[in-house]
Structures are given as structure tokens and as C-alpha cells.
Chain A
Amino acid sequence: MGTYDVTARKAHQWTMVVLVALGFVLGEPNGAIPLILAGAIMLVGRFWWPADVVRQFVWRVAEPAGWLPRVERDEDHATRRVARILGGLVWLACAPLLLLGLGAAAWLLAALIAIMVALDASVDFCALCFVMARLDRLGLKFT
């Protein structure tokens, strides 16, 4: 837990949702490109900060230029980082499914993750945090 830039998080999350939506609209097989891009930014950006391109843009351009206001808040990012890895992996896994002709399954999985990301971006509902808290209350420990 710590103080984080909520604006950068939300900008990153909405961009990922838009990329997935764009992939869906483009259809198969071209839709795999934005999906791979979103998955790569999620997964690689988690471990190698220069690849976290949306946050970089927000910090280096959008916030200094005053396009977006910087909002800082105490948030649980430990669980969100795990969610980010899982989301990135699922989106990357969906791309080959699209190319294999399994469009329905791929978009269902991709949409599930995109909806969770959109919920966190819009109403600060961290789905994985909620699930972890529920499991915790049931006595199932993951740490």
C-alpha cells in the first residue's frame, strides 16, 4: 500500500480497454494486433517500466502540460499488480485463439478482463482485491 497517481492508473486502464474494444471491432484476424499490444503493455510494463507507455505519457506529457490533473491516493497496488499480470497473460493468450478461429472464446475471455479493468478505472472496484478479501474471510490464505 502506498500513495499512487490515480490519474495515470486510470489513463492506462482506459487505454487498455479501448485497445481491446478496438480489437473486437476490427474482428478476426486484425483484432489480434491491438489485443497483443494491450497484453504486452500490461505484462511487459509491469516488469520493465519504460514499456508502461501510457503511464509514461501521462507523467512526461499529459500531467506536465496540464491536460490531466494529477490525483494521488493511497491504494492497494500489490493486488492490482497481480491482476495486471493475469490480465496481460489472458489478453496475450486470446490473440492466438483469434488466429485459430476461436473468436467467440477469445472475445469472451478478453471482455471479462476488460470489464474488470473498466470497473477499476471507472468506480475504483478492484475485482481481484474483492475476490482475495472474500477468500481471506473464508480462511483461504494466499500470502
Chain B
Amino acid sequence: MGERLLVLVVVAAAVALAVYGVRTWNVRRVRALMQSTAAAAWDNLGNAPDGRPTVVTFSTPSCAACHTAQAPAVIAVEARLGPAAVRVIKIDAAQQPEVARAFGVLTVPSTIVLAPSGRVVAVNQGFAPSGRLVEQLQRA
């Protein structure tokens, strides 16, 4: 029993260490993305900033959460802020995996908030509620 308890402790420690490592790596990656030049971000999108803060949404055709939750949340943001105050760019991560890779998208739905200058302001892996997106857009 003692040996098995030791194995449990070692496995738990290894998992905790792995989680810490992945989290640190992800934080650094997002930080690097936020410090990257606006041009680099927009080159990946194949688009150009137009002076409005922008939400880039990443989805795939078979992602239920993208269509039933994230899309309505983004529509709510557009309705709340108005088309003059926010721009939405939709990316199909299955069709444009290189764009998803460039923005470090790990899952769908994901959303990236870009400042009017084009710089990355926030990266949301997973569903982002409309309130959070509005808050991120307002500080963009």
C-alpha cells in the first residue's frame, strides 16, 4: 500500500508539473502574440485594420458551441456596440488552419480581440461571453 501511495504522489506531481509547464508556455505564447506588430497579425488574416476594434472568431462547421453560443454572443456584441464601434471577422479554422495556427488557437470556439491599430488585445480560448468581449473591446 505504501508503494502505491508513493506512485500516486509521483503521478500527481508529474501531472501538476506538466500542467504548470503548458500553462507557462501558453501565457508566454499569448504575451508574444500581444507584443507582435499589428502588421504581422493582419498579414495572417489577409486583411487590414479599418480603425475599428475587431473581434476575430474562430469556428469550424461541426463545432456546435461555435454556432449555438459563440455566434449569438458575437451578434449580441455587435448589437450592443453598433457596427461603427466593432468589426467582426469570421475564420473557419478548418478552411484556414494556417490563420488559426498563427494566432495560437488551441480550440474552437476561440476569439481574438484586436485594437483599432490592429494590435492583439486579448485571446479567448474557448467560449467567450458577450460581456467579456464588450469589456475587452472597450479597453482596446
Measuring CB to CB, which residues of chain A are less than 8 angstroms from any residue of chain B? 1, 21, 24-27, 74-76, 78, 111, 115, 118-119, 122-123, 125, 129-130, 133, 136-139, 141-143
Can you list, as one digit per residue, whether each of B1-31 has a CB less than 8 Å from chain A (1) or not (0)? 1001101100100010001000100000000
Question: What residues of A have a CB within 8 angstroms of the CB of B97 in the complex?
Answer: 137
Complexed CA–CA distance, A78 and B127 (Å): 14
A119: B residues at CB distance < 8 A: 15, 19
- Cβ of B136 within 8 Å of any chain A Cβ, yes or no, is no
A interface secondary structure, majority: helix
Q: How far is the CA of A24 from the CA of B3 in the complex (A)?
A: 11
Q: List B residues 76-135 near A (Cβ within 8 Å).
A: 93-94, 97, 100, 106-108, 126-127, 129
Contact of B60 (CB < 8 Å), options: A25, A75, A136: A136
Q: Nearest CB to that of B107 among chain A residues? A: A133
Whole-angstrom CA separation of A78 from B66 in the bound complex: 12
Asked if A115 and B4 sit within 8 Å, CB to CB, the answer is: no
In addition to A24-B7, A76-B65, A136-B61, 16 A-B residue pairs with Cβ atoms within 8 Å of each other are: A1-B64, A1-B65, A1-B127, A27-B1, A75-B127, A76-B127, A125-B19, A129-B107, A133-B93, A133-B107, A136-B62, A137-B93, A137-B94, A138-B94, A141-B62, A143-B64
8 cross-chain CB contacts under 8 A: A24-B8, A25-B5, A74-B69, A123-B23, A130-B106, A133-B107, A139-B94, A141-B61
Q: How far is the CB of B114 from chain A (nearest CB, A)?
A: 21
Residues of A within 8 A of B1 (CB): 25-27
CA distance A82 to B97 in the complex (A): 26
- The answer to whether A1 and B68 touch across the interface, beta carbons within 8 angstroms, is yes
Chain A residue with the shortest CB-CB distance to B92? A137
> How far is B69's CA from A76's CA once the two chains are assembled, in angstroms?
9
> Interface size for chain B: under 10, 10 to 19, 20 to 34, or 35 or more residues?
20 to 34
Given contacts A118-B15, A130-B107, contact A21 B8 (CB under 8 A): yes
CB distance from B44 to the nearest CB of A (A): 16
CA A118 – CA B13 in complex, angstroms?
Answer: 12
Q: Which listed residue (A25, A122, A136, A139) contacts B4, Cβ 8 A?
A: A25
**List of A residues within 8 angstroms of B94 by Cβ:** 136-139
CB-CB nearest in chain A for B106: A130
- The answer, yes or no, to whether B48 is at the interface (CB within 8 Å) is no
Assembled-state Cα–Cα distance A122/B18 (Å): 13
